[in-house]
Structure 1
């Protein structure tokens, strides 16, 4: 799993009058040190392109052109002393024409900072002014990286509307205009056709790997047979091939009811696409939502980018305990197994994962079962479209550690809970109010607290953030 950081340019702006440095011979050292100091403080959180200390319009123009050419996703306008506001204004304007947002950061006197802010506003460039708070800078850099990376991405939709779940549907033109994302519709028949081409050696090698690493593979002779498992593996490998062929960046898969009733359920596909590993070795996670939930896939893709590539989780809200502020979530057959123990080593994760009979789907096939490991911090998020406008629910949460008695009590509430992957989420908000207003049955998680990053991301993407937390 390759962890990716945002790519940002940083330019410091100085007073172009040479006589200033004759009367204040310490000033150039101060500007250089403040510039290098900011780079050193940020380099653990971002990959930085050095735009240098700029002493003229000419230098500003040359350096911002170089930063744009080198692929910066955002631009830090650093003002630590007086400068001519026309210099950072030029840089910000050139970045804006290339679709690159800027942030204005001050680390010294305020006159140059405030004068620059006013100049930017005069020409309609909206920027945040940050003074001394590096966390806010990194939030912005992460958000700008999301915006930049989404532009030009392709979402592959395998199949159409699933089971009438309209909350996963989107306006293709709106997505292209707002996010820069292209939609590729692919018929599910392509999965079947491609599955038939997968070599028997590849299929058997994958099944052997599952046998060697899963806690248990349970065959019941009805839902799970040698034939249905082989079909499921073929479909996963086929979908991997199709993703490569169509050059997809993330995906959403219908499955129900056509494939689950007339071919085989697709539970292994979202399971292993979202994992950082499979039988072929370590890999980058490929976001794939179930039930062609495009809004869910976009939420997961944003969480993946913000976290540097971590596996994301796709589940349904199943049960709740208002008193304990606990939500029981599960997926009807497949979710990233990484969450079982949150290790990039499949041996460690899969020893807690069972593959066994599904409880629905006429064509048969297995489901995976595990219980997500406790986590001190997770971020629950969901993009929705309410009356044509995008909102994002952002819910900082935890995965608590439950006793074996508590877990068994939950598992005995419904038979499917023993067949599906499960996650127990504890929220800090009013759970009753959250359930009343939450706009979907689908839940999306990433490990860690990305609340402030998501708020910045929503601001850049034109999404209304709705934080539900303490």
Structure 2
């Protein structure tokens, strides 16, 4: 037999998340109940197909089998069907009792141990799929594999029962965590420059990131970008298009005091976006970062280069001069743990734009009363934002344009709220910053990834959060206390007190993504063995209807932290 030469054509969908939906059954059960089980499988698959998307907006492939798994032979058959279809995420929707080892356990033997599996079932008594779920999940936990169960609700009777909205919502949250876990394995991010300004909290933990998340970190020198700018290695016609697009939205808000010099700097900063974008496409990168300081634009001994603020903002936005586009999470200052935080949360939210911020000044109630009094600014002590306080989130780069307006706003509305002033003066070569003040009422999760060499583990410090909108004069006055040319987002955590928030920040940067639910983040942390850090005294250990139920694997192994350490062999 001769060896087979593979085609040079590559299916780019290979390895992408594919969800397989199936059900076990008992061969002794009547035909009507078997047909009902098949209908549940089909209904669950169709509902997921309309709900789950990748960050680029493309649908996640959902497949299902109408072969009910009664015993080992059917388990092998369905497993082989799934493997041929590229299934790497499993959803079991049992409606009847069956025998765990003969069914799902035999199917799982065909897949890697870390394959995500979810059991979603109705809490029904006639043919107790819920009993099967508990029996099988318990068996799986005993041999050290993670699984999640979703004991929800669908009608006990009828041939075509459908799960209720809460049950479906819980399953959708789990699926987003699973596709983030699976979809990012084997992908890469690109970071330009070395360690971020000597910030040890921003290091590229290359081996640990590869081992824990399956992500590669490609590291390129900023000299490449400097050389490509000098050689004008970009499409000059596209640069004109990008410049005209920016001027079309904000010409009267682009500050160019020395017109010829500053216009050239603006062009270079826009060209930088085109250069980096093309490099990232060439490398098939899902995210990026750029060191900038100090060598790029702040060291007077070197040839100064333009600031990269607009470039970074464009990557993190849902549009550019070519129209709508996927968000490509991008971190300023080559902050790799910022990049990873943004990348994971963007995927978990289905592609929503991230916000990169300095954890700048924490304004507590007493600070605000004293400040507004000094500034002769009227304020009501009953306002929510003054009662609890807020963080002034502000940074020169990575500020997604989308955060200038409310979620769902169109491009024109967003861009009408953004200005491009001259950058602050310690960037010697200067260029243009991005400036706006985010509106209030944006809800999501504010978080930051951290790493410890003592445990060899990553953790996520997080809380639910919302933005607040201050009265115009107060917002402008607070803006002047920091960097007035940079974006400002006033963030209020849900559970953390301002004292806790000040003391427990794992870095000087933090990040927020709107529309991200705690359960999705928690499911993902289960898959990736990331420790969940919520040291807020006001937050209960479990918030029903918000948090995901703690997996049985954690309960029988001494809790989440101990289980995750055991899984890593710590």
TM-score, scaled relative to structure 2 = 0.76
After superposition, residues 39-438 of structure 1 pair within 5 angstroms as 39-46=45-52, 47=60, 48-52=62-66, 53-85=68-100, 86-97=102-113, 99-107=114-122, 108=124, 109=128, 110-132=130-152, 133-195=167-229, 196-214=232-250, 216-221=253-258, 225-261=262-298, 262-323=304-365, 324-341=388-405, 342-343=407-408, 345-359=410-424, 360-386=426-452, 387=454, 388-414=456-482, 416=483, 418-428=484-494, 429-438=496-505
Assess, with a 3 A threshold, how the Cα gap between structure 1 residues 204 and 67 changes in structure 2: closer, same or farther: same
> Which of residues 6, 14, 23 is equivalent to 1:12?
23
Moved more, 220-229 or 428-437: 220-229
Moved more, 380-389 or 102-111: 102-111
Q: CA deviation at 1:305?
A: 0.6
> Which of residues 18, 21, 32 is equivalent to 1:26?
32
The 8 Å contact of residues 250 and 287 in structure 1, kept in 2 or not, is answered as: yes
Assess, with a 3 A threshold, how the Cα gap between structure 1 residues 348 and 55 changes in structure 2: closer, same or farther: same
State the partner residue of 1:459.
526
d(CA) in 1 for partners of 2:41 and 2:82?
16
Q: CA deviation at 1:87?
A: 0.9
RMSD between superposed Cα atoms in Å: 2.3
d(CA) in 1 for partners of 2:261 and 2:450?
36
The 8 Å contact of residues 8 and 74 in structure 1, kept in 2 or not, is answered as: yes
Superimposed CA distance per residue, residues 60-92 of structure 1 (whole angstroms, 9 cap, x where no aligned partner) = 222222223323342112222121212111122
Greater share of strand: 1
Moved more, 329-338 or 123-132: 123-132
Assess, with a 3 A threshold, how the Cα gap between structure 1 residues 446 and 6 changes in structure 2: closer, same or farther: farther
Q: CA deviation at 1:6?
A: 6.6
Q: CA deviation at 1:353?
A: 0.6
d(CA) in 2 for partners of 1:298 and 1:455?
16
The total of aligned residue pairs comes to: 458
The 8 Å contact of residues 297 and 428 in structure 2, kept in 1 or not, is answered as: yes
Assess, with a 3 A threshold, how the Cα gap between structure 1 residues 312 and 71 changes in structure 2: closer, same or farther: farther
d(CA) in 2 for partners of 1:347 and 1:240?
23
Superimposed CA distance per residue, residues 280-311 of structure 1 (whole angstroms, 9 cap, x where no aligned partner) = 22211111101111111111111111111111
* 2:500 matches 1:441: no
The 8 Å contact of residues 11 and 78 in structure 1, kept in 2 or not, is answered as: yes
Structure 2 residues not aligned, in runs of 5+: 1-15, 53-59, 153-166, 299-303, 366-387, 540-570
